[in-house]
Amino acid sequence: MTAQRRKGATGPSVPLTLVMTVLALYTLLPLAWLVINSTKTQSALLSSFGLWFSGDFALWDNIVQTVTYNDGVFVRWFGNTLLYVIAGAGGATILATLAGYGLAKFRFPGRRAVFAVVLGAVAVPGAALAVPTFLMFSQLGLTNTPWSIIIPSLVSPFGLYLIWVYASDAVPGELLEAARIDGAGEFRTFFLVSARLLAPGAVTVLLFTVVATWNNYFLPLIMLSDSTWYPLTVGLNSWNAQASTAGGEAIFNLVITGSLLTIVPIVIAFLFLQRFWQSGLAAGSVKE
């Protein structure tokens, strides 16, 4: 068996390796540009090559200026983003887990219709719903409030579908029947038995919703007019517009450094959660 495997094994494809190397460099190039230019002063940004260090190493000074500029509004935007992520992405994960588990493990009239609606919702891009959502929230008087960002973020059709598919294989029906025979109710069965089995899938949904909410730009842009409620995406764009305006204050170093600080938490979250993400995607793919 070992000899057959060795005979059938092939070495790495050189063209494929070259293509993947080029794609990796293309992907990492903007990140390298961001890191390098975050270390430059405003004057060095305008007079040096973007992909190489120049002048004094000003990363710490840029960070201090970023978090203190305009009475520390960057810190406020950072807190707003955390609020939207914790309430929106966290709530979306909980709702998707509960709904996906219920749809996977309970039979009821209209289940196929719900399945069709969920698939249709997955296919609809979020940008297409932004304007109708704004009109609806405007009539309710919720625009320019955190609720206009949190409530739409609670809906995650893709997360619901992912948990639905995952729970179908990850939670054996025999295990649920055994818990019910032992006298456990549905809530106790879910929290003591099913929740542990659903954890990898739930963390996978959490990762996707956190990234989507953290990078959300278009919805806050049309919902919020008060800069004190901006998330980091909209706030940094307003800084960039201010720096690009003729006669505006030159704060490109703050825009770049703020962009670097913005991606650090999401990179840390991804690196921490990726093991659960990988296990969540692989679980249930092989049956005995």
Q: Supply the pTM of this predicted model.
A: 0.85
Residues in the chain: 288
pLDDT in tens, 211-264: 999 999 999 999 999 999 999 999 999 999 888 875 556 788 999 999 999 999
Kindly give, in sequence order, each residue whose CB lies less than 8 Å from that of residue 239, ignoring residues fewer than 6 positions away: 251, 254, 255, 258
Average pLDDT over residues 61-75: 94
Long-range contacts of 172-176 (CB under 8 A, 24+ apart): 173/105, 176/105
Percentage of the chain beyond pLDDT 70 is 90
Does the pLDDT at position 276 exceed 70? no
pLDDT in tens, 152-188: 999 999 999 999 999 988 888 888 888 888 888 888 8
Domains and CATH numbers, the chain: 13-57 (no CATH), 59-282 (1.10.3720.10)
Kindly give, in sequence order, each residue whose CB lies less than 8 Å from that of residue 217, ignoring residues fewer than 6 positions away: 233, 234, 237
Cα–Cα distance between 65 and 249 in angstroms, integer? 14
pLDDT in tens, 20-57: 999 999 989 999 999 999 999 888 887 878 788 888 88
pLDDT in tens, 96-118: 999 999 999 988 888 888 888 88
In the numeric block, which tokens belong to residue 60? 């710490």
Count of beta carbons in the 10 Å neighbourhood of residue 129: 15
Do residues 37 and 50 make contact, with C-beta atoms less than 8 angstroms apart?
yes
Chain-centroid distance, C-alpha 231: 14
Q: Return the amino acid letter for 58.
A: A
The whole-number pLDDT of residue 6 equals 52
Count of beta carbons in the 10 Å neighbourhood of residue 230: 21
Cα–Cα distance between 64 and 61 in angstroms, integer? 5
Count CA within 13 A, CB hemisphere, residue 147.
7
